[in-house]
Chains A and B, each alone.
Chain A
Amino acid sequence: EDQEEDVEEEDGQDDEDDDEEEDKPATVPPELLTRLLHEFFTADGTRITKDANSAVAKYMDVFVREAIARSAVERASGFLEVEDLEKVAPQLLLDL
Chain B
Amino acid sequence: MADPPDEEVRERLKAALWFAIGNMVDEESLRRNRNATPQFIAALTEMVWAQIENVAVDLESFSQHAGRTTVTTDDVLLLARRNSDLHAIIKDCVDRQKATKAKGKAKR
Do B20 and A32 have beta carbons less than 8 Å apart? Answer: yes
Q: Which residues of A sit under 8 angstroms from B34, Cβ to Cβ?
A: 72, 77-80
Query: Which residues of A in the span 36-83 have a Cβ within 8 Å of any Cβ on B?
Result: 36-37, 39-43, 45-49, 51-52, 54-56, 58-65, 67-69, 71-72, 77-82
* Interface assignment of B66: CB less than 8 Å from any CB of chain A: no
A51 near B73 (CB under 8 angstroms)? Answer: yes
Once bound together, how far apart are the Cα atoms of A85 and B57, in whole Å? 24
Which residues from A are CB-within-8-Å of B98?
Answer: 51
Query: How far does the Cβ of A64 sit from chain B's closest Cβ, in whole Å?
Result: 5
Q: Chain B contacts of A12 at CB under 8 A?
A: 15-16, 18-20
Identity of the chain B residue whose Cβ is nearest the Cβ of A35 in the assembled complex: B13
Asked if residues A36 and B13 are in contact (CB atoms below 8 Å), the reply is: yes
A85 with B56: CB separation less than 8 A: no
**When each residue 21-42 of chain B gets 1 if its CB lies under 8 Å from chain A and 0 otherwise, what string results?**
1011111100010111101100
Whether B47 pairs with A85 at a CB distance below 8 angstroms is yes
Q: A41-B60, A43-B60 are in contact. Are A63 and B51 (CB under 8 A)?
A: yes
Decide yes or no: A64 and B75 within 8 Å by CB, A40-B53, A59-B90, A79-B37 being known contacts.
no
Listed by A's residue number, 27 A-B pairs whose Cβ atoms lie within 8 Å are A11-B15, A11-B16, A11-B19, A12-B18, A26-B26, A28-B17, A28-B24, A32-B20, A36-B13, A36-B49, A36-B52, A37-B56, A37-B59, A39-B10, A40-B57, A49-B72, A51-B94, A52-B71, A52-B73, A54-B97, A55-B73, A60-B55, A81-B39, A82-B43, A85-B47, A93-B51, A96-B86
Given contacts A43-B69, A63-B48, A95-B82, 4 further A-B contacts (CB under 8 A): A33-B52, A36-B13, A54-B93, A80-B36
